[in-house]
Structure 1
Amino acid sequence: MNVLWIMADQLRWDYLSCYGAKHIDTPNIDNLAAKGVRFNKTYVQSPICGPSRMSFYTGRYPRSHGATWNGFPLPVGTPTLGDHLREIGVTSSLVGKTHMTADVDGMRRLGIDPDSKIGSLVSEGGFEVFVRDDGTNAVTYKNRHAEDYDAYLRAHGMGGDSPWEEWANTAIGADGKKKSGWLLETAPLPARVPKEHSETAWLTTRGIEFMQQQGDDPWLCHLSYIKPHWPYLAPAPYNDMYTADDLPDVNRRDNEHDHPLMQQWEKTRICENFSRKDVRDMVAPVYMGLIKELDDNLGRLFEYLETSGRMKDTMVVFCSDHGDNMGDHWLGEKDLFYDCSARIPLIVYDPRTAADATRGTSSDALIEGIDLAPTFQDFFEGPAKPHIYEGRSLEPLLHGKDVQWRDHCISEYDYATRDARRMVGVDQLDARLVMVFDGRWKYVHVETMRPMLFDLENDPDELHDLGADPAHTEQVARLKELHFDWTRQHHQRITRPAAIVEAMTDDREPEGIYIAHIDQAGLEDQGLKMPPHIDA
């Protein structure tokens, strides 16, 4: 049995037709949903690439693994999914993006050679790398990993100092000059790279090649796509497949924000630009085109799974690492806990007969991204590790079992590096947000400021912050207590499972240690004896 874990970057849940989108059709992703379970209320543990992915890869919250922002290394020694699966003979391989930053200082301190087998696994978040592609270039991202794609482009006649930059992220303007995909005004133009050689097409091919090379040993393949993440530039015909007329209405209202943090946040460059109608009308249709390109390539991938027989022995999981605000709530990019950013699609196809009863169904259970790691552990029949994994296996839900599930989920956000933090005068140590969502009420703890509160039953678009409304103090207090309960849990006691703790309790003091016994008779009452060199 194997796992193909597909992740798209920055894909909104509500831009898929199987989740009810009317403005775009994604038949191949829909087809996967018809074979498995579509989870409707899945939330990432941080609405930003790096910390979200590190939570997926460790099964732990950001406060537990410490990689709370992009470029913050996952501390050396942090156990990952790859580590746990390797213990039971399963190889975890990467095809695509992780946003992993190696803890170089930690490895140096411990004398770990980054080029050694252990050093490589530590550097890559526990994955064995078939191909890594973070979709960036050496100029804009110093820790880039796109060399394989660059080599591929050169082999197909697309050269230059940085083929990713010059072909996948460059268009030709009406004046015949090259225009960078980093500029939003370039979005409607077709990328220079032909669609058959785009990153999405290339990663799909590489994922198929990986599976073709596997033997009988079990494997997990993390096929992690770059798109529809920025730069918002698509190859023809996807660049102009949609127009502004195809877009859903923007979700926001005038004077929406009265929270001091949000009032400053919407003034940042990203938010101001994406709040402009002309910008959204240029960019969002291309975002849709990138999603359509992804769906078309997934059709090719799923066809291979069917024709090769892999659908019979492979769990297929599709999700994203976060969404995209795309002008909603006067915001751009990802960030923060609105559903357009923190809520993601999650579809799980389980090939086992035990999952037959749930095929083509949906679930409204509250799911966290950290639930996938223990789900894979279960699938491969590995030992449960609740002292390490903070998520829960989805297997009972996939198999239609009656199980008591969580009644709220948690997401975190470290905004220490964001401009809004300085604009409101918050120290970087206090730039912390925590979301508690119980399926109706979404509470956001804001350190040093009042909380935010949204009632998604009466306000599903999250347009009215009730955090300062005296009529909702009871809900604020209840959710604040849930947050406090969560902070008091064991988040770092991961080296001793519960069974060992119980055994230590039963055994009391170690052999040869006698604490607070009055006399020999007291020892004997406890079934203990003094060592033989002591006189009775």
Structure 2
Amino acid sequence: MAKQPHIIIFNPDEMRGDALAHLGNPASITPNLDAFAANEAVSFGQAYCQNPVCVPSRCSFFTGLYPHVRGHRTMSHLLRPGETSMLKELKEAGYYVWMNDRNDLTAGQIPGWTESHATEIYYSGQKKQGPGNVNPDQRGEPGNKYYYSHYEGQLKCNAEGKNYNGDDEVVDAAIERIHNRPADQPLCMFLGLVYPHTPYRVEEPYFSTIDRAKLPKRVHADDCTGKPLMEAEIRKYAGMQDFTDADWDELRAVYLGMCMKIDVQFGKLVEALKEEGIYDDCAIFFLSDHGDFTGDFDLPEKAQNCFEDCLTRVPLLIKPPKNIPLDPGISNSMVELVDFYATAMDLAGVQPTHTHFGHSLRPVLADRSAKVRDYVFCEGGRQPGETHCDEYHRNSKNGKGAPTTTVYWPKMKAQSEDDAHAKGIMMRDERYKYISRTVGKDELYDLQADPQEMTNRIDDESLAPVVVDMQRKMLKWLEATDDIVPFELDERFTPEMLWARVRGLVPPEKEAEVRKMIADGTPFPVLMGYCHSLK
């Protein structure tokens, strides 16, 4: 077997696909990732997550399964015993699996379960964190336009001009393990970072470096028609109607400053791999779990059953080991994050222990024009009455619902409404995006004419054939992915049940022999044939 590569997974949280400069954002500053994509990796410009919030997305891309397959479509239903993950599979295949304590993958209440997925878990909080906000009262009192905005603005710097945060600590800990890695095992490192997840806050130089004048045009809610009820409900409860374009631009610039810091941290990790002389031996994956509204549709943060590209299109950059053919640059081949699972397992040379739905992207790494999918899918939401699936009831205090003091209250409150939190599936090809919902109005966008998804054309009769075709293909996709059959086979009978079926054929002196055959798992037809021969 060829030498197994080191698997390096750099996973920022809530990073939009268009947050990268090389994918066309004139305000973004991501030089390390841009150079990485240009010379050493493939950057997938059309990569899509399978759920627009953290836990379901991670449960999906670490297993190669869609959220509906095992019910992982909420923030409170994580992987449990009886399931597995890529991390656990690689560990069992001989990898030294290092991860930090970000999780959002395995059920934390089960003793030893999360630990079984890694060789080593780095627990954060061991280093002194940077000072707080320049304006600690930015949020203000209830009713203030910033109260539910998630915006905190500029962070202070310490005497050395730094603001050392939890992500800095994780990257430094990973680098320390790289410098002191095991000599006899390949590494698998999962860096689950927090930035650029809300709150929107960052220190200098990142705070001021983003040129506000270069920010792309924002999508205004008033310019849209036929958008999902969830977005209107969050806007209603958030009370940010007094937010001006200048306010939104500050929020957007801070978000891109956070992405700029992620880029610096990524560059630092890559440099450590090169210093150790193992960079060429690494398969490096840079991906985010989902995106962020960041002011589009007059919204901050995200929504669990909304499917605009700002939420579903994510960065995905892959550098294979040096011995794997590579055509570096940007690929417009449509891919899903479940393909990350398939690709990492393929490059590691490890056979998955379960059926999955990912496609290895090795062909696209060798030829960026190669095509692996005609459609991509994303899903979210819940059925009416599924209160265990919404965050409002999950975070209820004394049965009175989520507290209004939490900055997430507008989203949680909107989720408490069956119609707003309706279960939906997004299907997207290169031209159209169709969203089917179990409750309320479906959506259809002509992405060629309307790339910002401002006009829902589901009632446009001229596009009815498009809807029918996509509905048919969505049904076929659901039929193909609605379950998986375990590789492990079960026995229909217990040993005593088998003995009961043959005991009348077995002489007393042969009982021990036949019972041993049963214990050894002799197939029932063979067992019966042998017992009949004893008469």
Provide Cα deviations, 1:22-75, integer angstroms capped at 9, x if missing partner.
112211011111211111110001011111111122221111232312233323
Residues 297-446 of structure 1 correspond to what in structure 2 (within 5 A)? 297-335=265-303, 336-356=306-326, 358=327, 360-384=328-352, 387-400=354-367, 405-414=372-381, 416-417=390-391, 427=418, 431-446=422-437
TM-score where L is the length of structure 1: 0.78
Provide Cα deviations, 1:253-296, integer angstroms capped at 9, x if missing partner.
63413256256345343484696424313311111211112212
Q: How many angstroms does 1:171 deviate by?
A: 1.7
- Please name the residue that 2:387 is paired with: none
Residues 111-150 of structure 1 correspond to what in structure 2 (within 5 A)? 114=111, 116=112, 119-121=113-115, 126-132=117-123, 148-149=124-125
Contact 1:7 1:320 in 2 (8 A): yes
Distance in 1 (alpha carbons) for counterparts of 2:231 and 2:208 = 34
- Please name the residue that 1:45 is paired with: 50
Distance in 1 (alpha carbons) for counterparts of 2:57 and 2:457 = 27
Q: How many angstroms does 1:95 deviate by?
A: 3.0
2:95 alignment partner, one of 90, 98, 112: 90
Distance in 2 (alpha carbons) for counterparts of 1:101 and 1:456 = 36
Contact 2:339 2:358 in 1 (8 A): yes
Contact 1:10 1:322 in 2 (8 A): yes
- Please name the residue that 1:517 is paired with: none
Distance in 2 (alpha carbons) for counterparts of 1:441 and 1:284 = 27
Distance in 2 (alpha carbons) for counterparts of 1:61 and 1:297 = 30
1:533 paired to 2:532 = yes
Distance in 2 (alpha carbons) for counterparts of 1:6 and 1:535 = 64
- Report the 3-state secondary structure (helix = DSSP H, G, I; strand = E; otherwise coil) of the residue aligned with 1:209: helix
Distance 1:355 1:275, change over 3 A: farther
Distance in 2 (alpha carbons) for counterparts of 1:64 and 1:371 = 16
Contact 1:171 1:180 in 2 (8 A): no
Distance in 2 (alpha carbons) for counterparts of 1:120 and 1:424 = 29
2:256 alignment partner, one of 281, 285, 288: 288
Point out where structure 2 has 5 or more consecutive residues left out of the alignment. 141-145, 383-389, 393-409, 493-497, 503-524
1:33 paired to 2:37 = yes
- Report the 3-state secondary structure (helix = DSSP H, G, I; strand = E; otherwise coil) of the residue aligned with 1:130: strand
Contact 1:266 1:272 in 2 (8 A): no
The percentage of aligned residue pairs carrying the same residue is 25
Contact 2:178 2:272 in 1 (8 A): no
Worse overlay, 252-261 or 440-449: 252-261
1:12 paired to 2:16 = yes
Distance in 2 (alpha carbons) for counterparts of 1:274 and 1:403 = 47
Point out where structure 1 has 5 or more consecutive residues left out of the alignment. 108-113, 133-147, 154-163, 505-509, 515-525
- Report the 3-state secondary structure (helix = DSSP H, G, I; strand = E; otherwise coil) of the residue aligned with 1:453: strand
1:229 alignment partner, one of 197, 203, 228: 197
Contact 1:96 1:222 in 2 (8 A): no
Distance in 1 (alpha carbons) for counterparts of 2:415 and 2:275 = 57
Q: Superposition RMSD on alpha carbons, in Å? A: 3.5
- Please name the residue that 1:520 is paired with: none
Provide Cα deviations, 1:328-364, integer angstroms capped at 9, x if missing partner.
12332123211111000111111233324x1x23222
Contact 1:94 1:129 in 2 (8 A): yes
- Matched pairs, number: 467
1:63 alignment partner, one of 61, 68, 82: 68
Distance in 2 (alpha carbons) for counterparts of 1:310 and 1:474 = 53
Distance 1:39 1:442, change over 3 A: same
Distance in 1 (alpha carbons) for counterparts of 2:285 and 2:357 = 19
Q: How many angstroms does 1:309 deviate by?
A: 1.3
Q: How many angstroms does 1:239 deviate by?
A: 2.3
TM-score where L is the length of structure 2: 0.78
Q: Which one-letter code corresponds to 1:352 in the other structure?
A: K
Q: Which one-letter code corresponds to 1:338 in the other structure?
A: E
- Report the 3-state secondary structure (helix = DSSP H, G, I; strand = E; otherwise coil) of the residue aligned with 1:98: coil
Distance in 2 (alpha carbons) for counterparts of 1:127 and 1:276 = 46
Q: How many angstroms does 1:403 deviate by?
A: 6.7
Distance in 2 (alpha carbons) for counterparts of 1:213 and 1:483 = 48
